[in-house]
């Protein structure tokens, strides 16, 4: 889980070493997630056809090859393609790990996600720090070579210790909807290209952006037509009729907005405070306490079956607190210890929303449709929402910075600056404009966050329209709790006939 085709902490080094602009590497990071989403619908069919040992060894070897390709090539398109293939096979390798973990932890979604997501998100932060630490002493290419060696060593370990038994009797790979999968991945690649390169190529003024928009629209139309006509579609459109799924998508959009705005801190720490990639990676490690806390709260929250509404509310609240602290502390002389508290709320908000929104989103999806439903929902969360709002936040930050520069230089007098050089300089104007743009952007993000908080607070989440929040805890030794639970069951039986129910 620590291994990735591109490490975000090393993007600056990769840009300097290859001469490729950073947007291609960001596109490659999104391509990895697209590949993982594209491989998810085929996991069970491949497990029915191949042994776990075969899937694991093949996935690890292919990932090792792609790591070597990324380390040795200087072609941007090859890097993006290698990231896509890397992500596709990483999904199969992760499935062989996650499925046994789920059997060990238990089938309960709340317990599993409360343990799995803190591990996954925490390892992501640790991986960023380790990659930055290694590149202090070795080149970034050698990091990928060592990664390939590690993956091949894991494959050799699988050859030695994994059994040769099958998951079930062998089944053929016929009726797999490969064309639909390629259409979906092509659509997402075009979409992520538009959002990633929009600011760099001035959006629709670029012919490449226009072609990508046309390609995304065409592939989307062909994909929908095929899915509506085929007997075994890749996506079950009927699940989007569920109120919980529609509400979950809205919450995922809010999560995408708040997570996409986290780039403001990176801009602030790098451009204003002058932190290098190693220090920024240590800032990510400060999120671990919040991540672990979110997992512990989720474990007990779901154990006692407390409604998820207020847990989701705490996740969005933590993000708002994080951005509010960052708003008021954004000064040129901030020390690194001042990031401990905001990073705690950042980690708590990220992990709690990953857990709570996902549990609520998949709670009412039928089990038979789950494998066909999780892939598009995961891609929507990790690619569409994140990519879209990361690009929008980046563009607005750029526009606000230009506006701030214009406002600042309008008050500078060239002759006065020549006589008194300490009054102002282009460097101080640039830094001032950057801080002003960041604060303006953070202000809008905080307002949007409060809008989502208001929506969550007044939304029913399956309860009566005018019932804002309601909690109960199961306690077999408490008669009052048992009576309250019985009352809740009676309410659930009549809920379908009450107006205003989700």
The pair of three-digit structure tokens given for residue 126, joined into one six-digit string: 């640790």
- Mean pLDDT of the region 278-284: 83
Residue 500 is classified by DSSP as T
The pair of three-digit structure tokens given for residue 200, joined into one six-digit string: 């760099």
The model's pLDDT over 127-170, given as tens digits with 9 standing for 90+, comes to 888 888 887 778 888 889 999 999 999 999 999 999 888 877 77
> Can you give the pTM of this predicted structure?
0.82
Residue 268 is classified by DSSP as I
The pair of three-digit structure tokens given for residue 136, joined into one six-digit string: 């202090």
The model's pLDDT over 73-100, given as tens digits with 9 standing for 90+, comes to 989 999 999 999 999 999 888 888 888 8
Which helix (H) or strand (E) segment is 499 a member of? Answer: none
Choose between 282 and 321: higher pLDDT.
321
The pair of three-digit structure tokens given for residue 285, joined into one six-digit string: 């490690």
Residue pointed to by tokens 């199961």: 474
The model's pLDDT over 10-26, given as tens digits with 9 standing for 90+, comes to 888 888 888 888 889 98
**C-alpha pair distances (Å), 106 with each of 116, 296, 300, 301:** 11, 16, 15, 16
Provide the 10 A C-beta neighbour count for residue 370: 12
The model's pLDDT over 295-315, given as tens digits with 9 standing for 90+, comes to 999 988 888 888 888 889 999
The pair of three-digit structure tokens given for residue 486, joined into one six-digit string: 């019985």
Choose between 428 and 283: higher pLDDT.
283
Residue pointed to by tokens 């979409």: 191
The model's pLDDT over 186-196, given as tens digits with 9 standing for 90+, comes to 998 998 899 88
The model's pLDDT over 233-247, given as tens digits with 9 standing for 90+, comes to 777 777 777 777 888
CA–CA gap between residue 351 and residue 292 (Å, rounded): 8
CA–CA gap between residue 89 and residue 93 (Å, rounded): 7
C-alpha torsion sign, points 22, 24, 26, 32? negative
CA–CA gap between residue 38 and residue 249 (Å, rounded): 19
Banded pLDDT at 470 (limits 50, 70, 90)? very low
The model's pLDDT over 378-389, given as tens digits with 9 standing for 90+, comes to 777 777 777 788
How far is C-alpha 371 from the chain's CA centre?
20
Asked if residues 80 and 31 have their Cβ atoms less than 8 Å apart, the reply is yes
Q: Tell me the average pLDDT of the chain.
A: 81
Question: Which pLDDT score, from 0 to 100, does residue 292 have?
Answer: 92
CB burial of 150-160 (b: ≥16 within 10 Å; e: otherwise) equals ebbebbeebee
Total residues found in the chain within this entry: 502
Choose between 499 and 307: higher pLDDT.
307
CA–CA gap between residue 327 and residue 185 (Å, rounded): 37
Banded pLDDT at 485 (limits 50, 70, 90)? very low
Question: Which pLDDT score, from 0 to 100, does residue 425 have?
Answer: 63
What contacts 350, CB < 8 A, 6 or more positions away? 121, 259, 287, 290, 291, 294, 319
Query: Which structural domains are found in the chain, ordered by start?
Result: 1-110+139-162 (no CATH), 182-233 (no CATH), 245-450 (1.20.1250), 460-502 (no CATH)
């Amino acid at each position: 889980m620590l291994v990735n085709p591109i490490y975000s902490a090393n993007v600056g080094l990769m840009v300097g070493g290859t001469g490729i602009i950073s947007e291609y590497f960001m596109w490659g990071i999104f391509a990895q997630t697209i590949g993982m989403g594209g491989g998810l619908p085929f996991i069970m069919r491949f497990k029915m056809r191949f042994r776990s040992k075969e899937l694991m060894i093949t996935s690890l070897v292919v990932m090792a090859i792609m790591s070597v390709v990324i380390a040795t090539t200087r072609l941007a398109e090859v890097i993006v393609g290698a990231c896509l293939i890397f992500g596709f096979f990483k999904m199969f390798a992760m499935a062989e790990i996650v499925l046994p973990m789920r059997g060990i932890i238990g089938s309960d979604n709340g317990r599993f996600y409360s343990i799995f997501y803190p591990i996954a998100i925490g390892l992501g932060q640790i991986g960023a720090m380790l990659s930055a630490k290694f590149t202090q002493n070795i080149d970034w290419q050698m990091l990928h070579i060592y990664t390939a060696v590690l993956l091949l060593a894991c494959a050799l370990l699988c050859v030695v210790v994994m059994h040769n038994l099958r998951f079930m009797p062998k089944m053929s790979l016929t009726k797999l909807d490969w064309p639909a999968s390629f259409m979906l991945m092509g659509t997402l690649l075009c979409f992520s290209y538009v959002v990633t390169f929009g600011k760099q190529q001035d959006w629709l003024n670029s012919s490449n952006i226009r072609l990508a928009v046309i390609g995304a629209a065409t592939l989307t139309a062909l994909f929908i037509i095929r899915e509506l006509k085929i007997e075994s579609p890749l996506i079950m459109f009927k699940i989007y009729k569920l109120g919980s799924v529609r509400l979950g998508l809205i919450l995922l959009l809010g999560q995408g907005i708040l997570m996409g705005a986290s780039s403001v801190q990176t801009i602030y720490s790098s451009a204003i405070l002058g932190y290098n990639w190693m220090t920024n990676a240590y800032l990510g490690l400060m999120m671990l306490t919040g991540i672990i806390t979110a997992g512990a709260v989720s474990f007990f929250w779901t154990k006692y079956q407390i409604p998820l509404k207020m847990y989701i509310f705490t996740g969005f609240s933590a993000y708002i607190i994080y951005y509010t602290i960052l708003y008021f502390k954004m000064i040129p002389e901030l020390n690194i210890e001042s990031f401990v508290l905001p990073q705690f709320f950042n980690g708590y908000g990220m992990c709690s929303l990953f857990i709570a929104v996902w549990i609520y989103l998949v709670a009412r999806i039928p089990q038979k449709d789950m494998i066909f439903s999780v892939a598009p929902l995961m891609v929507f969360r990790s690619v569409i929402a994140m990519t879209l709002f990361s690009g929008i936040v980046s563009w607005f930050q750029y526009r606000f910075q230009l506006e701030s520069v214009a406002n600042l230089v309008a008050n500078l007098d060239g002759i006065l600056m020549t006589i008194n050089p300490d009054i102002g300089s282009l460097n101080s104007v640039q830094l001032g404009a950057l801080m002003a743009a960041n604060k303006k952007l953070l202000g809008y993000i905080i307002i949007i966050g409060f809008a989502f908080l208001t929506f969550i607070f007044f939304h029913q989440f399956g309860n009566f329209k005018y019932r804002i929040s309601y909690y109960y805890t199961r306690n077999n030794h408490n008669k009052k709790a048992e009576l309250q639970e019985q009352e809740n069951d009676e309410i659930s039986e009549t809920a379908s006939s009450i107006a205003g129910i989700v």
